[in-house]
Amino acid sequence: MNDTSARIALLIDEGADTLRAAGIEGPQRDARLLLAFGFNVPPDVVYPPYSHPQICTAVDSDVAGIDRYRQAIAQRATGRPVSKIVGARDFWKYRFSVTDDVLDPRPETETLVASALEQPFTSLLDLGTGSGCILLSLLAERPQAAGMGVDISDAALAVAAQNAQRLDVAARVTLYRSDWFESVTGQFDLIVSNPPYIAAAEMPGLAADVRLHDPRIALTPGGDGLEAYRKIVACAAPHLVTKGRLIVEIGPTQAQAVAQMMQDAGFGRITVLPDLDGRDRVVQGRIL
């Protein structure tokens, strides 16, 4: 190990020790990610034995990088998520900008994307689009499709617009401020949503990096956590073409309630899909 590589290893150990003392899980991993951020290099060049020319050159030439890294470590030690520090999160096959104004994209939501891609579609509506991770991933995978994303937050829509440019799908996206279907017109082959679904009583038990750093409006509608589904399911059918699909992410205990809502609203072929951990994660139905 050369002198620069040894220096990098010491910096990472220093950061990991700080995070470990703060009770952060995966401190070594987070330290590597934050070092990459501090020195503005891809994360995949920051791995033992820390000899990749890109990170070695950056550490030797960027005198401000250490300060940025240590500031990022200090933020992470308070519980702030890595994605909110670096301003980005990988989701599906793509990298999305994230801010404090949007829900941090999570791997379990990829179950919804995978389900949506199992059938063809050319028109798509995403309710509560947030960062746009669902909508834009789907459009990136289906070059012939166009989509609409709606959100009640103007700040979230601004993040989605930035991500649409990042993924080069902006020409096929329209973004509107809307309280669910309030400003939506037309019909679609596919409607998707990851709405707020945490019950009010469950909020105190959420991990601090979620409870304190994701927007509350994206986490919970209050009450039993089902209010968003009631609104979405009740209004979806007129906005779907014949055989159009409605697919929503759910909390692990909500499958039966949401499936019953779809059945009562006239949807057929209702199925519940698990995430990679085997927990109920997606409910989908079809207009027959």
Cα distances (angstroms) measured from residue 252 to each of 98, 123, 231, 264: 25, 28, 20, 21
Name which of 2-6, 14-18, 140-144 the model is least confident about: 2-6
- With residue 286 as reference, give the H or E element that holds it: strand 280-286
> Mind listing the pLDDT tens digit for each residue in 73-125?
999 999 999 999 999 999 999 999 999 999 999 999 999 999 999 999 999 99
Q: Residue 34: its pLDDT value, please? A: 97
CA angle 72, 75, 79 (to 5 degrees): 130
Q: Which residues contact 143 (CB under 8 A, 6 or more apart)?
A: none
**Sign for the pseudo-dihedral over CA of 259, 260, 265, 269:** positive
What does R_g of the chain's alpha carbons equal in angstroms? 21
pLDDT of 63 reads 85
CB atoms within 10 A of CB 285: 26
123 lies in some domain = yes
Point out the domain boundary residue: 79, 95, 124: 79
Mean pLDDT (the chain, rounded): 95
95: in domain = no
Do 192 and 257 sit in the same domain of this protein?
yes
**The domain containing residue 26 runs over which residues?**
3-79
pTM exceeding 0.85 = yes
Pair (74, 109) in one structural domain = no
| DSSP conformational letter for 103 | P
